[in-house]
Amino acid sequence: MVAIILAAGKGTRMKSNLPKALHPICGKPLTRYVIDACRESGIEECIVVIGHGAEEVQAALGNDVKYAVQQEQRGTGDACRAALGLLDGCEGSVMVLAGDVPLLDPAALRELAEEQAASGMAATMLTTVLPDGGHYGRVIRAADDTVEKIVEAKDATPSELAVGEINAAIYCFNLPLLRKYIDELTPANAQGEYYLTDVIGLMVADGHKVGAKISADPNIVLGVNNRVDLSYLTDVVRRKILDRLMLSGITVIDPSTTYVDEDVEVGMDTVLHPMTVLEKGCKIGKNCTIGPSSRLAGAVVEDGAAVLFSNVVESTGGEGCKIGPFAHIRPGCTLGKNVKLGNFVEAKNSEIEESVSVGHLSYIGDTRIGRRTNIGAGTITCNYDGYKKHHTEIGQDAFVGSNNTLVAPVKVGDGSLTAAGSVITRDVPADSLAIARSEEVIKIGWARRRREQKDTQ
Ligand code: UD1
Ligand code: CA
């Protein structure tokens, strides 16, 4: 079985510079959902029809499908015809789907294909019944309950508009008949387009039969035409993802404020607290505590990690690491086992080995910190001289005092100690003490004398 997926349209109603096909739902482009549903249903080959933003769409959707280009967007019928060129010489049936109907159910697609094969009809479609059909095409049935035609909302009479059964743009066609009637389409309608839906009416008018199966679940056939539709389906997908996680042993304290992208993996007994956002590419281990109020994107944290009120991007955290509250972990950080990055710590492009503690108010950039080293509160690595980024190397079992300024490139050796308030500009050899601050001067009795002087004035 082959599927043609129509995704050449601009998506005018989205009012966006991004082609509609690429608008993401839970981190995955709309049309990629359609492709994945086809794959899961056993359809071997997908032909995606692209046009508006073709290059961008093709790059984002991947190369496990074939592409046909519709040069000018002249309607769904014209788009489908653009794909038929790739099926020359093929017979049998073809599935035709819209790239903006993302929640297709693979089982429903399989059943549709089976029904089409068993009935021998010219086409079989999947429809649903809505309380208000809105902008969807209406399915007009003949006396024998087969489909007579589809009428677009813009072309419908009031009595046709009152029909609750809508066209979901999920069709299984007899391929030779589709080829024949698609050439007979004309743009004589309200939108001046070649409607794929008119193929159905042409087939029936010529004595062929078209069947329709009604889906009991309207969500699986709903389309995205504007951002209200997008948010509605995003919510459906979001709840599905959370249900799947909860059923696999993850506690989601407040599903209404938890956002997890489609490809995210979470291990058993992890607890997701309110206001947690896990974006594309996250892998969370077992027994972790994430949130409240944390956003992780492309982040991997291993078993037992805790992230509290923090932002973690494209970085990894080892077993038992503790991040936050209020930490900002920017791309390129690797935190070893049991690392602690505490409150108001920012880190970027740094390798922080196991059991290191950066407890409070620090900036760690382009740095490597060896095992068990403690970084005192308020320590800053000065990695940028206004032109270039420089590296800081801090050895293992070192102790960097509070409020240090490490001017990169600079090294602090294994087992060394730097005094609080130091500005370190030269390398500190292993096991040494570096004090880089002005010496304290004490004037005994000075304060009392000043007080007495002021009091007598
Ligand atoms: C279409 C159906 C409508 C159905 C609805 C279901 C037609 C004429 N109408 O309407 O009966 O109820 O889907 O969601 O088919 N596309 C192209 N090239 C074009 C035009 C569209 O590739 O020239 C693609 C779009 O990118 C989109 C899909 O076809 O993915 C559907 O097009 P859209 O304009 O959204 O059709 P609807 O108005 O939703
Ligand atoms: Ca649509």
Interatomic CA distance for residues 348 and 381, integer angstroms? 11
Helix (H, G, I), strand (E, B) or coil at 101: coil
Residues 291 and 157 in one domain: no
pLDDT at 207 over 90: yes
Report the pLDDT averaged over residues 94-108.
Answer: 96
Q: What is the pLDDT of residue 220?
A: 85
> What is the value of pTM for the model shown?
0.93
Going by pLDDT thresholds of 50, 70 and 90, the confidence category of residue 40 is: very high
Q: In the predicted model, what is the mean pLDDT of the chain?
A: 97
Residues 102 and 247 in one domain: no
CA of 225 to the centre of ligand 2 (A): 5
Residues 189 and 260 in one domain: no
CA of 225 to the centre of ligand 1 (A): 9
Going by pLDDT thresholds of 50, 70 and 90, the confidence category of residue 219 is: confident
- The CATH number of the domain holding residue 213 is 3.90.550.10
Report the pLDDT averaged over residues 103-127.
Answer: 96
| Catalytic (active site) residue 360 | yes
pLDDT at 101 over 90: yes
Q: What is the pLDDT of residue 396?
A: 98
Q: Tell me which residue range forms the domain holding 84.
A: 2-221
* Domain tally, the chain: 2
Report the pLDDT averaged over residues 241-261.
Answer: 98
Out of 12, 61, 76, 194, give the residue to mutate to test ligand 1, the one with the largest number of ligand atoms within 8 Å of its CB: 76
Interatomic CA distance for residues 250 and 81, integer angstroms? 47
Yes or no: say if 258 and 252 are a contact pair by the CB < 8 Å rule: yes
Residues 273 and 375 in one domain: yes
Q: What is the pLDDT of residue 407?
A: 98
Residues 274 and 211 in one domain: no
pLDDT at 221 over 90: no
CA 264 to chain centre: 9
Going by pLDDT thresholds of 50, 70 and 90, the confidence category of residue 325 is: very high
Q: What is the pLDDT of residue 457?
A: 86
pLDDT at 234 over 90: yes
Q: Render pLDDT for 264-306 as a digit per residue (tens, 0 to 9).
A: 999 999 999 999 999 999 999 999 999 999 999 999 999 999 9
Q: What is the pLDDT of residue 175?
A: 97
Residue 416 lies in a domain: yes
State the catalytic residue, choosing from 135, 208, 328, 360: 360
Interatomic CA distance for residues 290 and 327, integer angstroms? 13
